[in-house]
Structure 1
């Protein structure tokens, strides 16, 4: 889902509006809308995010005999202000022998969610449904993506941090949701959360400038810079305040940086400190990162000491 507001108003992780259709899947919008309706019906009937094993009742899909495991996703995904970011996921789907995963109207979809599975703060899917390759009569290896479009207001700053992953499957079994004889009790549906976790982080930038250049040995070098990170609410970069950042030095001819001192960014994310010139080399700032913001190193700035 690429909009936040609807989930908070509906009970259940995947009780999504039919309007919650990713823009990149406009060519498959009808199927997405149909699946959203099935999800909503499943949520309304069960009151939970994962359907229990039960016989279908009027107005409900039945619990599809599918489970998910071995979900793999990047440990962290760095998302900036405007660029589309896509991360690959893989998972295993185990299903009953009566489930035809090769059917044209069978779908599986990975997703990630922020907050509780039953009432998430936000959810994101991929641009396309997952694709599965059978490994036996009852198992398949599946791949998909999770896609991020920060410029489309699908994220807010508080979304940064830990997310969990899940997957769903739906079998329409020849039922046409737009047909006059549509019978939802013949549609199978299953969703499962807490399959894995990842960090969704606000992309960071770090600069450095050491001056004067050149400088006489024993004189003072002033090193300035700025640590900033993506703001998902105005699509700009703002200073990351009160963060510890290391000033590091690499002697000319060496490949190793050593830490000179640690200072904190000010109220605008700026950095400023001084050191005594001793030998030719490169100065850089280095930020270790947080759960919401990735680590970043500034490109070293060379100082010629005479």
Structure 2
């Protein structure tokens, strides 16, 4: 992490300006960074032993033309105090000229469960970026874009029983919620979480909330409802900043 920052700031020191990474946003001239997109705008979700490479892309503009740019992904209050990071592998990233005043810059970054992705850094990450123009104007953003890095979750296929069921009688729907543990490289039950039971009436396309239940210590979820019409039950977990959402495959019941 700090070695990477040293490369970037060291390279910048050789130019006509020095832009220290430890400080907040810096801006000289009319250079701009915009349209920053990390992983296509989607959260980065990792399983217990997963390794995933994502792309960061942004636009740089300056009336003198774009020279170069750099970017790093990090977790923490600032890049100087970051407790984890993902580097591009080189000091300067690829910038493709769009016009005399605009370029599109991009690079790939890798997240590895158990390495730069451990349980304590699940949640909001930031994008540090800097761009320099041909006239040596530059802009540095301490956080050009925030994004989520999340532990993968799964809801097992819902199981509604008995099947078929007599109209007016009870049907019990079960599933299990699990979550990846990046520290141990395993996946286990995710307990004490609110999970919604939803129902989609036969012949319709929309699920509606039925009730909310809590997963037990093993991650198991159970709900009992009265059967009235044919349809499909499923469970949905909303997730959180550091934990991905999950939706169970539904189970269709026949009400007689």
Query: Residues 103-161 of structure 1, C-alpha deviation per residue, up to 9 Å, x if partnerless?
Result: xxxxx4432111122210111134676321123445421122332222x5221112111
Partners in 1 of 2:44 and 2:145 — Cα distance?
14
Q: Greater strand percent: which structure?
A: 2
Check conservation: 1:248, 1:285, Cα contact below 8 A. Answer: yes
Q: TM-score normalised to the size of structure 1?
A: 0.66
**CA separation of 1:277 and 1:70: change in aligned 2, threshold 3 A:** closer
**CA separation of 1:238 and 1:94: change in aligned 2, threshold 3 A:** same
Partners in 2 of 1:234 and 1:141 — Cα distance?
39
**CA separation of 1:240 and 1:282: change in aligned 2, threshold 3 A:** same
Secondary structure of the corresponding residue to residue 199 of structure 2: strand
Q: RMSD in angstroms over aligned alpha carbons? A: 3.5
Would you say 1:221 and 2:171 are equivalent positions?
Answer: yes
Check conservation: 2:155, 2:177, Cα contact below 8 A. Answer: yes
**CA separation of 1:195 and 1:253: change in aligned 2, threshold 3 A:** same
2:93 corresponding residue in structure 1: 130
Check conservation: 1:203, 1:294, Cα contact below 8 A. Answer: yes
Q: CA deviation at 1:281?
A: 1.6
Structure 2 counterparts to residues 233-244 of structure 1, below 5 A: 233-244=183-194
Q: TM-score normalised to the size of structure 2?
A: 0.78
User: How many positions carry a matched residue from both structures?
Assistant: 242
1:16 corresponding residue in structure 2: 3
1:194 corresponding residue in structure 2: 143
Q: CA deviation at 1:219?
A: 2.6
Q: Greater helix percent: which structure?
A: 1
Partners in 2 of 1:17 and 1:294 — Cα distance?
29
Unaligned residue ranges in structure 1 (runs of 5+): 1-6, 8-14, 19-33, 54-62, 102-107, 171-188
Partners in 1 of 2:173 and 2:252 — Cα distance?
11
Unaligned residue ranges in structure 2 (runs of 5+): 133-137
Check conservation: 2:9, 2:20, Cα contact below 8 A. Answer: no
Tell which structure's C-alpha radius of gyration is larger: 1
Partners in 1 of 2:204 and 2:151 — Cα distance?
32
1:158 to 120, 133, 137: 120
